[in-house]
Chains A and B, each alone.
Chain A
Amino acid sequence: EAGVTQFPSHSVIEKGQTVTLRCDPISGHDNLYWYRRVMGKEIKFLLHFVKESKQDESGMPNNRFLAERTGGTYSTLKVQPAELEDSGVYFCASSQMSGRYDEKLFFGSGTQLSVL
């Protein structure tokens, strides 16, 4: 069974440019999460999709970040325009069950974003 895949694994862009990250969850997983880890700090929640609907986007830092999950399959996270403080590792995770506090998340390898 394929795991959660993320693309690209690394992205280096200049301030002001646009970057789009992609996440393919495990097939059949309705829940898709985006998390971010800024260098050396804690991992922070960005948003949660249930199928194609945004269940919770309370962690999105500002309106420069746009996440989509058309058709309830893969998801994209676009940063436009990118700023220096957006640098970090962006993780995507998926899970099968929703509405459970004990759900186990399956993570992708992350996208290392560097904004110069």
Chain B
Amino acid sequence: SQQGEEDPQALSIQEGENATMNCSYKTSINNLQWYRQNSGRGLVHLILIRSNEREKHSGRLRVTLDTSKKSSSLLITASRAADTASYFCATDGSNYQLIWGAGTKLIIKP
């Protein structure tokens, strides 16, 4: 069954603006990861946040985790055209498999 659910499903913003995507999950986790997929390419790992962390930064990315609400957010600041992609959250399931949401499609308009 689906563990992570991202919202919005699609997001279109102007270049330079900030983009925020959210992810909700159902069961307790050890960590949560965010991946990016550019069109026609593979998934690329962006950032991992552990269950005992509340916020993490990597370059223009900021991830928050609220385990009480079973939710996470990914903020991309000062968006660029190259940020156009689909973004997925993934949580750890049983036997170390990842459980994924349906993704948020982000479009950065020039």
Contacts and interface: CB of A to CB of B under 8 A. Distances in A.
A84 to B, nearest CB: 20
B44 A42 contact: no
B44 to A, nearest CB: 7
Interface in B31-46: 31, 33, 35, 40-45
Interface residues of A, number: 30
Interface string A74-116: 0000000000000000010100001111111111111000000
Contacts of B92: 101
Given A42-B101, A45-B98, A102 B43 contact: no
Interface string B76-90: 000000000000101
A110 B42 CA distance: 6
Interface string B39-62: 011111100101000000000000
Give the contact-size bracket for chain B. 20 to 34
A109 B41 contact: yes
Nearest to A106: B45
23 contacts: A33-B97, A35-B100, A40-B102, A41-B102, A42-B100, A43-B88, A43-B90, A44-B100, A45-B93, A45-B97, A45-B98, A48-B96, A56-B96, A58-B97, A98-B96, A101-B96, A102-B48, A102-B50, A104-B45, A104-B48, A106-B45, A107-B43, A107-B44
